[in-house]
C-alpha cells in the first residue's frame, strides 16, 4: 500500500482516483453478443454458455427438482444464517415503505403521489470463484416488499450445468419468481430483450465483471433501466489514535479479497496507526486463501496521514467511498459531517462484513465516486412514483391566470388555450 503523508488539498483530486479499467476494447465484443441474443434468443444464450461457461445446456430454466436438491445440499447452519439475514434485510427495507399524502397548495387544487412497483425486474447474480448468494437476498427481498409481480434471476451454472445451491436456497427464501442458468453478457442481453425462456424485464440489478458492467451500460441506453453505474468494490476507513489496528487491517483485507481491481483507503490522524495497520495487514494477509488477489488489490490502495479529523472528513467526502468505516472516538460527530458515501459503519465493532451479510442494510452500493450522486439499492429502487392532481372549478379559478401568463411567456399558445377555455366556462 502507498503511504502518503499530509497531502495538500491541491493533490486530493489525483489522490482519490481509482484504478482505471479501460473497457473500450470490450464494447465491440459486448455489442456483438447482445445483437446475437436479440436475434437468436435462447439459442444464442446456450451458445455463449457453452463458449464462456463451458457448459452445454438443454434448458435454461432451473427446475423445481433442482430447487429441492439444493435444499438438501445446504447445511442447516447456513440455512439458518440466510434466514436470519433475510429477516433483518426485510425488516430494514419494510421500514422504507412510502406513505402517500394529499396536499392542497391552493383551494380546489389537490395533488398526491402513488408508489407503484416495477412490474418485472431482472437480477444478475455472479457465480465464479465467489457465488454471491447474499446478493440474492439484497436484491430480491426489497423487490418482493415493493410488490414487483415478477422477479427474474439469472446466474451462471457450473460446468455440470448446476447453479450453486446456496443461491437457489436464498432465492426461494427471498421470493424469486423464475431462475435461469445464464451468465455474463448473455444474461444481461436476455433480461434486456427477452428470449423464448427468459422474460424481458424493465430494470436490471446486480454486480458483475467488466463485461457485465459494459453490457448493462449498453442496454441501458435504449432498452432497459439499470440500478446504477458500477465499478470495482472499495472501502475507506477514517481512524484516529484510538482505533484498533487489527480491526482496520481485517476490514481492509475483507474488501481487497473481492478482486484485483478493488481498492482500500485508510485516512488517519495517527502515524502510529499506519505503522500498526501495516504490520497487521502483513500478518493477516498471509493467512488468506485469496492472498494473491488481496495483495494485488493492495497495490492499488493507499494510507493517508492527515492533520486532523476535519481534514479526514473532507478527504473522505472527496473520495465518496462505497463503504465508509469510522473508527474514531467521536464517530457519531464525524458521521454527521459525512455527505458522500454509500454505506457508513460506526465504531470499532461495525465491520463492513456486517452490512455485506446480515445487519439489514443493502450491500448493493455506488462505487467509483458515484456516491456523490447515487444511492445504494433501496425500496425506492423498485418503485415508480406517479403523481395525481384534481382541479375543481375553484382550483381552476385560483391558478388559471398564472397558467395562462406562463404559457404565453413561453409562446405555447395551445397550452394557454387549454386553460383559457376552462376559465371561460367557469365564468359563464
Tell me the pairing of strands 103-106 and 109-117: antiparallel
Half-sphere exposure of 177 (CA within 13 A, CB side): 16
**68: CB partners within 8 A, 6+ apart:** none
**Secondary element (H or E) of residue 23:** none
Cell numbers linked to 212: 457485465
**Secondary element (H or E) of residue 106:** strand 103-106
Percentages of the chain per state (helix, strand, coil), in multiples of 5: 50, 15, 35
Query: Alpha-carbon distance 189 to 248, whole Å?
Result: 40
Cell numbers linked to 295: 495483495
Q: Which three-class secondary structure state does DSSP give residue 116? A: strand
Query: Rounded to a whole number, what is the distance in angstroms from the first to the last CA of the chain?
Result: 79
Query: Alpha-carbon distance 220 to 192, whole Å?
Result: 9
Q: Which three-class secondary structure state does DSSP give residue 322? A: coil
87 is catalytic: no
Q: Which of the following is catalytic: 93, 164, 323, 363?
A: 323
DSSP 336-405: HT--S-SEEEESTT--HHHHHHTSSS------TTGGGT-PPS-GGGGEEEEEEEEE-HHHHHHHHHHHHH
322 is catalytic: yes
Q: Which of the following is catalytic: 49, 234, 280, 322?
A: 322
Cell numbers linked to 177: 419468481
Count CB neighbours of 37 within 10 A: 30
* Angle in degrees, 0-180, between the axes of helices 291-299 and 245-256, rounded to the nearest 10: 100
Q: Which amino acids are annotated catalytic?
A: 322-323
Amino acid at each position: 500500500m502507498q503511504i502518503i503523508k499530509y497531502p495538500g488539498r491541491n493533490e486530493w483530486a489525483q489522490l482519490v482516483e481509482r484504478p482505471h479499467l479501460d473497457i473500450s476494447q470490450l464494447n465491440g465484443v459486448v455489442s456483438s453478443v447482445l445483437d446475437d441474443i436479440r436475434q437468436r434468443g435462447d439459442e444464442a444464450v446456450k451458445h455463449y454458455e457453452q463458449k464462456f461457461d463451458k457448459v452445454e445446456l438443454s434448458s435454461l430454466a432451473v427446475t423445481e427438482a433442482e430447487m429441492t436438491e439444493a435444499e438438501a445440499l445446504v447445511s442447516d447452519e447456513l440455512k439458518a444464517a440466510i434466514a436470519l439475514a433475510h429477516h433483518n434485510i426485510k425488516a430494514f427495507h419494510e421500514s422504507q415503505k412510502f406513505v402517500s399524502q394529499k396536499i392542497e397548495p391552493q383551494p380546489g387544487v389537490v395533488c398526491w403521489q402513488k408508489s407503484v412497483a416495477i412490474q418485472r425486474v431482472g437480477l444478475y447474480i455472479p457465480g465464479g470463484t465467489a457465488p454471491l448468494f447474499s446478493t440474492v437476498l439484497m436484491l430480491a427481498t426489497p423487490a418482493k416488499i415493493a410488490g414487483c409481480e415478477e422477479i427474474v434471476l439469472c446466474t451462471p451454472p457450473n460446468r455440470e450445468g448446476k447453479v450453486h445451491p446456496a443461491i437457489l436456497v436464498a432465492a426461494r427464501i427471498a421470493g424469486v419468481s423464475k431462475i435461469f442458468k445464464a451468465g455474463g453478457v448473455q444474461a444481461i442481453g436476455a433480461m434486456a430483450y427477452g428470449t423464448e425462456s427468459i422474460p424481458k424485464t424493465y430494470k436490471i440489478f446486480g454486480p458483475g465483471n467488466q463485461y457485465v458492467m459494459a453490457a448493462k451500460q449498453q442496454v441501458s441506453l435504449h432498452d432497459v433501466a439499470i440500478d446504477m453505474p458500477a465499478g470495482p468494490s472499495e472501502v475507506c476507513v477514517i481512524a484516529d489514535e484510538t482505533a484498533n489496528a487489527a480491526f482496520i487491517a481485517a476490514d481492509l483485507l475483507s474488501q481487497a479479497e473481492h478482486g484485483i481491481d478493488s481498492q482500500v483507503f485508510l485516512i488517519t490522524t495517527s502515524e502510529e496507526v499506519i505503522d500498526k495497520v501495516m504490520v497487521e495487514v502483513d500478518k493477516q494477509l498471509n493467512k488468506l486463501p485469496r492472498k494473491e488477489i488481496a495483495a494485488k488489490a493492495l497495490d492499488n490502495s493507499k494510507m493517508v496521514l492527515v492533520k486532523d479529523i476535519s481534514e479526514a472528513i473532507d478527504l473522505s467526502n472527496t473520495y465518496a467511498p462505497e463503504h465508509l468505516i469510522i473508527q474514531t472516538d467521536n464517530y457519531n460527530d464525524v458521521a454527521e459531517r459525512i455527505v458522500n458515501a454509500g454505506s457508513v459503519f460506526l465504531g470499532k465493532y461495525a465491520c463492513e462484513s456486517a452490512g455485506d451479510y446480515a445487519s439489514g442494510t443493502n450491500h448493493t452500493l455506488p462505487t467509483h465516486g458515484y456516491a456523490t450522486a447515487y444511492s445504494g439499492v433501496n425500496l425506492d429502487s423498485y418503485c415508480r412514483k406517479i403523481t395525481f392532481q384534481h382541479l375543481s372549478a375553484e382550483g381552476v379559478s385560483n391558478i388559471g391566470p398564472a397558467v395562462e401568463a406562463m404559457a404565453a411567456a413561453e409562446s405555447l399558445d395551445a397550452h394557454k388555450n387549454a386553460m383559457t377555455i376552462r376559465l371561460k366556462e367557469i365564468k359563464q
